[in-house]
Amino acid sequence: MPSRREVLASGAALLGTVGLAGCSAPEETTTEGGSGRNGQADANAAVAAEWNTMRARVRDAVALGRAGAPDAGGALAQSVFARFENAGGEYGAHEMLEGTDSEAYEGFESALGALRSEGLSAGDLQRASDAADTATGHLADAQGALLSEGTAQAYDLQALAATVQNTAFLLETDNPDAAATVAEDAQARFEDGLGSAFESADSDTFDSFEGSLENLVSNAGSGNSESAMANADLAVETAVAGSYSLADDEHAAGAGHVALFGAMGWDAAALASLGGPSLGVAHAATLTTYRARVADAAWLVAAGEREQAATVVTDVFAHFEGARAHDGLESAAADAYEGFESGLEALQTAIEEGEDIAEPLATVDENLVAGIEALTGEAAPVLAAAFFRARVADARERYRRDKGDAAASIAQDLFARFEEDELGFHEAVEETSEDLYDAFEEEHLAGLIDAFEAGDDEAVRTHDEGIHSTLLEYATTAAETPVVSAGEAAIVTARGFDAAVLDTLGNDDRAQAIAQRVFEHFEGDPGGYHEALEHADAETYEAFEAAIGAVSQAAENGEPVYPPTKTFGGEAVASAYAVVEAAGGPQREVALGIAEDAFARFESARVHELLEEADRNAYETFEASLEGLVEALDGGGDVASAAESFANATQYAQFALVDASEDVPLDLDLAGAPSGGHSEESSSGGHNSNLSGGPNVVEGVPEDADHVVDMTAAAFEPEELTVESGDTVAWTFVGGEPHSVSAYEEKIPDDAEYWASGGFDSEEAAREGWTNGEGAVQSGQSYVHTFETTGEHGYVCIPHEAVGMVGTIVVE
């Protein structure tokens, strides 16, 4: 089946036959709603356009459910709610909806909750579809109240175009039945409301849209994917053209048109999340090997082998210049990229000139850490675990050579890094399992330091093995096989180079033993790495095994070990890419195609010129952010962050198009965007004086809190927390609207006293109190409670109950 990018060209050719490319703009008139300076659309149109993006994303959630990914759909619905809750300011989507139509506001939030909890999570796609209809209907009602009839109809047509776009990505992800259902739903929505107005405004474009939509339904139902995709693209383009004819102001239509591009960006991000780990995980695994190799250079310097240390640094630089991680790091974190390269140069100079290497060594590592964080996001702690295991192995090798102090220093450094939560490692382990956290930090890492210092061989062996097994268990618990395998690739690479160091230091026997141990470790299928590589790429798998065999053979024959180790390191890095790419599947390529399509469409779109003329900065920011999303999808960067940046740039463009840049919501954090809005506080900062907390709501987070639960816009993180009797838990505000922490009376132990923010003695009182503005936890505040009664304690955020903001505390 041809890619969507190939089909796009045929769709554009079809567009030319209906004469849309040069359709003229309607005359500007003063609108009944959403009009402002010189009769043009004002900030109301920009906010209504943002609601259109939300309408599109709600439909996306259902489409993901139909594609067999209900969990991803539910996560998307949660993301929509979180963005909505954080959209503060006078012209933010949240406050504007509440102020425009309070019933629509309440209905939208409730329907979003039902979409996730009663629909997608319950596996009831019909319920999910009904909830999406309700949620988007409420937004459409608010648009009708805020805008002129023509502009509201234009936004309806653009929202329909976003739904039609879903059929294309469903077809490309091999979900023809789901595509057919979505296409039929789009046709039914069109026939129910927009037909007559569209036909009156532009009959030729109407005929083309209606025909392409009918053909899309027929093609999707019969499995003719190529024709279906061509008709989907034609339907989208004709719908957009029709929206300009319907709208009372072309700039208002342009704001909605830009929102449609924003929806495409979110589509790409949603699809990328289905395709396994980002390629950035493999890039970050490569950077993790560099962390271990520059540490080896420091080891060689300490042993008086400066010449070989300089060679190691030179080779790291050379490998990076030709590595796939090179462009990935440069795209994801330009500062880290430059800092890493300049740090390597400084490190090499210091080694060669006999100077102290501590400062350049720290610079290299700091920038590698920053790069790993930018490239991997949530996977970063798993790669941190791999680095820790590699460094613990280094420490034990130092200990074997009667360097107990050096070994203890390495372990102490790791303990400090863990306490500083480098790459989110400390928090991730603690959230994954309290038992693993205690075993790793308190039992084994602290114990290893003591064992090194005491020269206790048996304790060193016990804690060394305990750290490796505990961190491997953490990785396999916290991440899927491809991410764990990327971490394992970094570990075996590091251990291979350890063998080369020991060979340089004259210990051939130990070098051979390490090579053999690497082979045995791989054959043991740690975290599924062996099997994943064998299935992903048989050629790389065989080259990997042959390369580690060559390292062992060189050590056995008394030959230099470093040259075959470089070959093995290359194969090990390649193994990380092989496994990650095999897990990505076609979805990531489709996601990239959607983002590239968005860029191509924008370049030839009517709104391109409108935006460039309206606000050059907004235009350049929009293009750069869209290009950043394409690069993240193509180069393995942080797709979620890139999508968020593009969404913000889209919102900025919407306001710029209607000459309302100064009204951009205060909570829109975007470089180059003007400060705007008229609210004295955003949803992420400040207190609402009409709300009160209670006796256990305090400023900040108490130092004596044993555990902290973050309250994001629509979730408690972690959702479930295990504590011990007598432990104090602090729930701290992170984002969104004010929250409550209120126990479910029927979901706490029978002998437990009722607990809630606000100090209420019953659930009924807590709910009534919230209605009266009591029990609120706002920005900068925490609710604190000490648990004495063992058992499960279920609780809820009352204002966000509809969207599933619930949690559980297990007291042992």
Residue from 77, 371, 263 nearest 646 by CA: 263
pLDDT at residue 562 is higher than 90: yes
Query: What is the pLDDT confidence band of residue 638, given thresholds at 50, 70 and 90?
Result: confident
pLDDT of residue 4: 39
Query: What is the pLDDT confidence band of residue 762, given thresholds at 50, 70 and 90?
Result: very high
237-279: pLDDT as tens digits: 999 999 999 999 999 999 999 999 999 998 888 877 776 677 7
**CA diameter of the chain:** 89
Tokens of 336: 């880290």
DSSP 589-616: HHHHHHHHHHHHHHHHSHHHHHHHHH-H
Show the DSSP H helices in 303-352 as ranges.
306-322, 324-332, 334-352
- DSSP SS3 for 712: coil
Residue from 327, 459, 303 nearest 396 by CA: 459
Task: Kindly report the three-state secondary structure assignment for every residue of 546-572.
Answer: HHHHHHHHHHHCCCCCHHHHHHHHHHH
199-246: pLDDT as tens digits: 889 999 999 999 999 999 998 888 788 888 889 889 999 999 999 999
475-485: pLDDT as tens digits: 999 998 999 99
Residue indicated by tokens 């990935």 = 328
pLDDT at residue 19 is higher than 60: no
The H or E element containing residue 783 is strand 781-786
pLDDT at residue 690 is higher than 80: no
- Across the chain, what does the average pLDDT equal? 87
519: amino acid identity, one letter: F
Identify whether 2 is preceded by a cis peptide bond (ω within 30 of 0): no
Cα separation, 684 vs 86, in Å, equals: 7
Residue from 376, 489, 476 nearest 429 by CA: 476
pLDDT of residue 8: 40
Tokens of 806: 């619930």
Residue indicated by tokens 């008086």 = 304
Which segment of 302-311, 453-462, 623-632, 659-668 scores lowest on mean pLDDT? 659-668
pLDDT at residue 25 is higher than 50: no
Q: Kindly state the average pLDDT of the residues 296-314.
A: 95
Tokens of 233: 């693209």
Residue 236: CA atoms inside 13 Å, Cβ hemisphere, count?
24
Which segment of 191-205, 589-603, 681-695 scores lowest on mean pLDDT? 681-695
C-alpha distances in angstroms, 625 versus 549, 590, 598, 599, 641?
Answer: 47, 19, 12, 10, 11
CB atoms within 10 A of CB 171: 29
pLDDT of residue 683: 40
pLDDT at residue 787 is higher than 90: yes
Tokens of 654: 């919407």
Residue indicated by tokens 């309408």 = 55
Please give the model's pTM, rounded to 2 decimal places.
0.63
Tokens of 432: 């994954």
Cα separation, 495 vs 518, in Å, equals: 7
Query: What is the pLDDT confidence band of residue 675, given thresholds at 50, 70 and 90?
Result: very low
487-520: pLDDT as tens digits: 999 999 999 999 999 999 999 999 999 999 999 9
Cα separation, 179 vs 202, in Å, equals: 28
Query: What is the pLDDT confidence band of residue 551, given thresholds at 50, 70 and 90?
Result: very high
Query: β-strands 707-711, 728-733: how paired?
Result: parallel
